[in-house]
Structure 1
Amino acid sequence: MLHVTTYYDTLKVTRDAPAIVIQAACRALMQLNHPDNFEGREYEAVKIAEDLREAFDVLIDPNTRAQYDNWLAKQMEQSN
């Protein structure tokens, strides 16, 4: 089975993680991947930040998270 990286994987949280855990995970990963830590590779840090922000924006809002979870469930169903 092919593993696809989900927003949960991006933020390193479980699918049942509460909003406060998602927020804390995003903040910690943003600090860890700050451009100052990527001297000479700032583009890489910007890409990571964009991925983290996208995942955070979807998972922090209950409505978009529910839609995303439904989409994930359909994708998993189709792959089986």
Structure 2
Amino acid sequence: MAVVTNGLWHENGTAIFTGMLEHGVEIKALSANPWPAMKWTPPRTASGGIDRRKVANPMQVRTLLTAVHDQGRVGPRNASTRP
């Protein structure tokens, strides 16, 4: 997906993000731009399909969902009490 900002076209917003980091360095909010140091490789794709031995079967899924439902709500649910 392409992003258009200030009349400039950027693929996936990467140039926009890099520009934001550079601006952070300019205004001294960051000591250095961490982006060039990051090492990222795309995740491997499953070439052989799904390993059925590692996926829950329908009985296991039903049992798990029933147990979660039976447990009910546990702990606070509002943001003000979360750490």
Q: Higher strand proportion, which one?
A: 2
Q: Higher helix proportion, which one?
A: 1
**Larger relative CO (CA 8 A, sep 6+): 1 or 2?**
1
Query: What TM-score results when the alignment is normalised by the length of structure 2?
Result: 0.29
Query: What TM-score results when the alignment is normalised by the length of structure 1?
Result: 0.30
Q: Which has the larger radius of gyration?
A: 2
